[in-house]
Structure 1
């Protein structure tokens, strides 16, 4: 949310157009502020106060206003479910979590997308900061039956925003649950904003950087482990070990957001699939990485395969997760 509003910029924009529509969900915050500047706008007199907006709602509202019309859609886009970015560090973690068979409480962030097939690494998501409290509550409710089965997953910025007190409560009440903090060094889902764990303010000035390991320890957590989520085997071992431990434990999954990484680090060569080695088992497809697709109809003598996996090299970030899950060494 912008505050204070850039009044001069808004006045300059208004001077260049004949009519202004303010399209905002829920309360007319921007609309009221802009009207207070003496600028005439059209807003909640045609747009609804409730529900999320989509192109259809906006089109209907503007077409109901006699002074404005929106032409019909020329072509509908293909339907595609939301997905984690190619090379996202969260993908390897949730691939490992799914294999753990634990009940995973999610939180608000990019990683919420791991609820969807085929990753299916989350089982609940209520609100920002709820994952730790939900995991704590479930572990206490299930008691012995819940040991080794309850996980809470939360991003670094979300943890610093609203997860610290819940983790303190877990330590204080000796909860048998595992919390995984996804430390990707940014607030990725809402636009790559800085937070207390990045070492910079929102204005880009250097600031005190919170050390998550030290902070978690100060809250009373004794079992703490830092992992690289791009190493699936290491991640699986860490999850298995910490679920088997007594009392609360924390894994810090540490790897920079792939968007941040792409902008600041040297590019990594894309991976390729050897069609002769691929057996068409589709295991790599379970990662749900956008560059990996299925090409049907390509058979091989002496094999039952009905197609092969292919990688779009223009999208691949070379993270190597698919190569780790391939049992036939077809990806390199």
Structure 2
């Protein structure tokens, strides 16, 4: 069976939903035999499917998942392929999961020893979801956390230098499950993925620095590292490795080599070499890319550099 056919035949499909009400109804149908779909107030939902002894927990956006062909959480697709269980906390808008009903839901999971039923727990999120993945990881001691561009907090007393989410500063980040660096104490491995050239993200990553935290730097991927890693087909593999207990700095470095054929990354490093005044570096990049790929833009730029500066006389790397 082809991948497309497998996706079409999957039980986990809400593609026919036309509005929020029909989508919620379909999500309830999907979970009725092996899990649940539970509203947590007006802006959050918990989606749980019990399929295996490894649990993948994801924090995702309603708008993003409903924009996919199946209108399902990204984590559901990954968990289905691996035979894992999946718990997704879904947020409608930039709530940052700062809601007492979400807190009470996690309190209930702790009281029920929910996470203890699984051999391995992996928690994933990006941006606001990355913050939440860290903040609620305290509920699952020993879990592995994969957080892409996580924020430590939006409390202006601590992170006043981050000017990206001014409206969300009205939310309370000083009550329960508030300061993410404190909440990751007691987890297993924590992997923080970020672009060090994004200054605010790098500063949040520094606040999350702990002996058990592994920073995984992805320079020149820009403001949406999760989208870039997904486009490179790296993100699913990262989560797979975490679920198998095999994600390390070295295994990530192997996956990160895919950047060498990822167009947006290559354009970013070429632009950086140009704007910082390094024509020799530009030429080295262009030569490397044109040897490996059909890249007319890089070939043209190399010809320009050679004509303008005589770089053709330099030995190749």
Regarding TM over 0.5, the answer is no
The structure in which a higher percent of residues are helix is: 2
| Greater relative CO (CA pairs within 8 A, separation 6+) | 1
Give the alignment's TM-score, normalised by structure 2.
0.28
The structure in which a higher percent of residues are strand is: 2
